[in-house]
A = this chain, B = another copy of it.
Amino acid sequence: MHIESATSSQLVEWEKELSVHYERICQHELSLDITRGKPSAEQLHLSDKLDGILATDYRAADGTDTRNYGGMTGLSCARALGADLLQVPTEEVMAGGNSSLTLMYHAVLTGYLFGFAGNVPWRALESPKFLCPVPGYDRHFTICEQLGIGMLAIPLGKGGPDMECVEKHVREDGDIIGIWCVPKYANPTGITYNRETVERLAQLGQIANPGFRIFWDNAYAVHDLGPSINLASIRAATLENDTVDSVLQFASTSKVTHAGSGIAFVSASSANLDSLKLQMQAMTIGPDKVNQLRHSRFFTECTTLEEHMHKHASILKPKFECVLEHLQNALGDSGMGQWEKPRGGYFVSFNTRPGCAKAVVGLAADAGVKLTPAGATFPYGNDPEDSNIRIAPSFPPLEELDTAMSVFVLCVQLASVRQRLAQCRNASG
């Protein structure tokens, strides 16, 4: 039944049934977690040959002894791997440590404290701000929040951020100095920016503060569940628009090999890389080149990137199907929520009826199913609609995910019916 078409007495009955069901589940004392986009043990196992792959030959093809200090830009064969991931020239890539988040943090710090490519440091502006397409990735927002950089939420549609809105802000406010983008299989909605959006983003450099930078976090560049979607090249678009300095691209092997011990990449113009290196040189003599060599060998000796990602997809696909089946079976045509069917990435984004997200997350928690906190996908943790919930199906085994999702949909039903019931009572009261 569609929730809007239920009468008050039907809602009362429905709430009773759902409550009984919910109470029964609470007694099972579950302990399930679908909060974060962590690879499963089965996925991690795909890369277990990494340790030992060097067979005590620590010398890279270019002669570098990877065991010693040095080489801020990373090993050339690792940079080539990053270039392959991001589809850019090797010389525009810097290969770093185990986290692209760390590279992004240092890029923001560079802009904030020192300025990119000779531009004014952001901290010298009255009110520096990033545009944040929402729902988005909470860790992006945390970086801005920590450094006191303001954030403006921008609606994210099926083809990318609302570009009218983006352009208006950039045109009218010279203190807009960045935008966070997850252009492919966006976290959490799973959408991929269309060509027009990429083009228009690449043109922002013509109207923005010269210190403005697009943070292009291509975290899911090769993380297809089926046939790959083609993301237009932001690099090519900035070349055409003479705005090459306006973009910094990021990627990592975190969800390709081992999540905590992969390697990360940043790609940018030489002016941007020089600024970033200048800042980073004060804090490191260079990244872990031994691990970079391991990754390079792995993708030449053991497998190819494409083949490897196919294996990931075959593990992940049934999990996404499980989530989508539960949503469709329990909530299809119910008026209790909306979701997209992602073609890659790590998440399913679910929108409850406005005002229900926190209630759903709370009910699920009490029933032993941990969800990402409601609001986490918005700057300052504030979802004005209290609607978005990010579901991360990758980590739990299929059986546990199945149980977690049956709890989730029940919680959505219960919260929705209770809200509707309260609305009806208020209306008649």
Q: Closest approach, in angstroms, between the C-beta of A181 and any C-beta of chain B?
A: 19
Task: Tell me which of B69, B139, B143 contacts A36 (CB under 8 A).
Answer: B69
| B69 with A58: CB separation less than 8 A | no
Among the stretches A100-108, A398-406, A419-427, the one at the interface with B is A100-108
The prevalent SS among residues of A at the interface is loop
Q: Mark A40-76, 1 if CB is under 8 A from B, else 0.
A: 0100100111011111101000000111111100000
Among the stretches A10-18, A171-179, A201-209, A279-287, the one at the interface with B is A279-287
Q: Closest approach, in angstroms, between the C-beta of A115 and any C-beta of chain B?
A: 13
Q: Hey, which chain B residues are within 8 Å of A36, CB to CB?
A: 69
Query: How many copies of this kind of chain does the complex include?
Result: 2
User: Closest residue to A65 on the B side, CB-wise?
Assistant: B41
| B283 with A260: CB separation less than 8 A | no
**How many residues from A make CB contacts under 8 Å with B?**
56
Interface presence of A254 (CB below 8 A): yes
A41 to B59, CA, bound (A): 11
Task: Tell me which of B71, B259, B279 contacts A146 (CB under 8 A).
Answer: B279
A281-296 interface (Cβ within 8 A of B): 281-291, 294
15 contacts between A and B (CB under 8 A): A48-B67, A52-B55, A52-B56, A66-B261, A68-B258, A69-B254, A97-B97, A97-B288, A98-B287, A102-B283, A139-B282, A258-B290, A260-B285, A261-B288, A288-B288
Known: A44-B65, A143-B282, A146-B279; 18 extra A-B contacts, CB below 8 A, are A38-B69, A47-B67, A51-B53, A51-B290, A51-B294, A52-B55, A68-B259, A69-B259, A69-B260, A97-B288, A98-B287, A99-B283, A102-B284, A106-B283, A139-B285, A260-B287, A261-B289, A261-B291
